[in-house]
Amino acid sequence: MANSPLTFYGKVALVTGAGNGLGKAYALDFAARGASVVVNDLGGNISGTGSGSRAADKVVEEIRAKGGKAVANYDSVEFGDKLVQTALDNFGRIDIIVNNAGILRDKSFVRIKDEDWDIIQRVHLRGTFMVSRAAWPHMKKQGYGRIIMVTSAAGIYGNFGQANYSAAKLGIVGLANTLSIEGRKNNILVNTIAPIAGSRLTETVMTKDMVDALKPEFVSPIVVYLSHDSCEETGGLFEVGAGFFAKLRWQRTEGVLLREANEVLDAEKVRDNWDRITDFNKATYPESSQDSMGKIMQLSNEIDEAE
Ligand code: NAD
């Protein structure tokens, strides 16, 4: 209903990395709207070393002081089943997951050590997989689930010095694309946001004015809406920050089938048609692999029939 507030009474939300920054804003927002919240945070530093209970505990205290329901979990997202178990043990169910936990190991490409690559994949991509997989059977059984994935502009567009992070973050979009297809029939809806906000991850590269303008609270509204049972969106990718909200999609040029009956198809033919291959004037927006392959197979069959 248009004017009714979005509430979450009876729902259980697990927010990973909720001890700071964006995750904290989501946890507070969910709790204020009646959800029972698992505040997960490993409590380490931004490069993924160390651990502690303080970050999660502080957020739980803040939620409880305002009359909300929350419990802390200090495990790494790499142990997704433990996070989900905390939700089940304390609140009896799991409805919403925000896969928010994250770290950085920024380095130009050849300086990335094996461990810098591996820890970024483990925390972002594998962590997202482990937490989502642990919750999936419960969501399937109850015919309800909302999963928010967190990517980054660095993943979507690339960014100097973030090859490890870019790869993991775009991997998360790939995971979301398939989970949104697999989850649909059980009302498990999966969407991805690429946020921008002032936080300890970004304060070293942002001015104070930027940090002030990019409050995590300006990102939280879309996370809350996408997590609500009234929202039917799935498989979406959204750029969010400073109060700006937008959806992204793939775009494909009209394309050209260069294979012709009884003619050689070679690299020269590709070169000679480069303008047509890359011309976005009659672009289309494939929404599925069937959409994408369908056009290719149709054109290909037309050639075969002409042969
Ligand atoms: P943040 O450092 O303020 O918060 C991240 C939290 O995740 C920290 O509290 C940290 O302790 C926790 N964490 C790290 N590793 C963990 C693990 N293995 N298990 C559990 N918790 C762990 O950072 P933030 O800016 O709020 O970032 C939140 C998410 O948003 C991250 O996934 C980040 O990649 C993404 N993101 C942020 C921005 C931005 O502008 N801030 C931009 C793009 C993407």
Distance CA(179)–CA(136), nearest Å, equals 10
What's the mean pLDDT in 287-304? 87
pTM summary value: 0.97
Ligand 1 pocket: which of 131, 199, 237 to mutate (most atoms within 8 A of CB): 199
What ipTM was assigned to the predicted interfaces of this complex? 0.99
What separation in Å is there between the alpha carbon of 249 and the centre of ligand 1? 25
Give tens-digit pLDDT for 242-256.
Answer: 999 999 999 999 999
Indicate if the pLDDT at residue 12 is higher than 80: yes
Q: What is the pLDDT of residue 1?
A: 59
Residue with CA nearest ligand 1 atom 31 = 102
Tokens at residue 174, please?
A: 């790939």
Q: Indicate left, alpha or beta for 245 from its phi (over 0: left) and psi (-120 to 50: alpha).
A: beta
What separation in Å is there between the alpha carbon of 64 and the centre of ligand 1? 23
Question: In this structure, is the dihedral angle defined by the CA atoms of residues 67, 69, 73 and 76, taken in order, positive or negative?
Answer: negative
CA distances from 158 to 162, 163, 178 (A): 7, 7, 22
Contact 206, 198 (CB under 8 A): yes
Indicate if the pLDDT at residue 143 is higher than 70: yes
What separation in Å is there between the alpha carbon of 49 and the centre of ligand 1? 13
Least confident of 51-65, 172-186, 203-217, 277-291: 203-217
Residue 274 neighbours by CB under 8 Å, 6+ apart: none
Indicate if the pLDDT at residue 154 is higher than 90: yes
Tokens at residue 152, please?
A: 């980054």
Distance CA(17)–CA(48), nearest Å, equals 12
3 state SS of 214: coil
Q: Which stretches of 21-106 are assigned E, i.e. beta strand?
A: 36-40, 69-73, 96-99
Position in ligand 1 atom list of the atom nearest CA 104: 34
Position in ligand 1 atom list of the atom nearest CA 44: 11
Q: What is the pLDDT of residue 28?
A: 98
Indicate if the pLDDT at residue 306 is higher than 80: no
At 307, is the pLDDT very low, low, confident or very high (cuts 50, 70, 90)? low
Q: What is the pLDDT of residue 215?
A: 96
Cβ-count burial of 16 within 10 angstroms (0-12 exposed, 13-18 middle, 19+ buried)?
Answer: buried
Task: For residue 137, count other CB atoms closer than 10 A to its CB.
Answer: 11
Q: What is the dihedral of CA 144, 150, 156, 162, to 10 degrees?
A: -150
Considering the candidates 9, 74, 165, 225, report the single residue annotated as catalytic: 165
Strand duo 36-40 + 96-99: pairing: unpaired
Ligand 1 pocket: which of 14, 16, 22 to mutate (most atoms within 8 A of CB): 22
Give tens-digit pLDDT for 21-80.
Answer: 999 999 999 999 999 999 999 999 999 999 999 999 999 999 999 999 999 999 999 999
Contact 60, 31 (CB under 8 A): no
Distance CA(118)–CA(114), nearest Å, equals 6
Active site residue 285: no
Q: What is the pLDDT of residue 230?
A: 97
Indicate if the pLDDT at residue 294 is higher than 70: yes
Q: Which residues line ligand 1 (CB under 6 A)?
A: 16-17, 19-23, 40-44, 46, 48, 55, 76-77, 100-103, 123, 127, 150, 152, 195-197, 199-202
What's the mean pLDDT in 111-139? 98
Q: What integer best gives the mean pLDDT of the chain?
A: 96
Q: What is the pLDDT of residue 193?
A: 99
Give the percent of the chain with pLDDT over 70.
99
3 state SS of 8: coil
At 262, is the pLDDT very low, low, confident or very high (cuts 50, 70, 90)? confident
Distance CA(210)–CA(242), nearest Å, equals 9
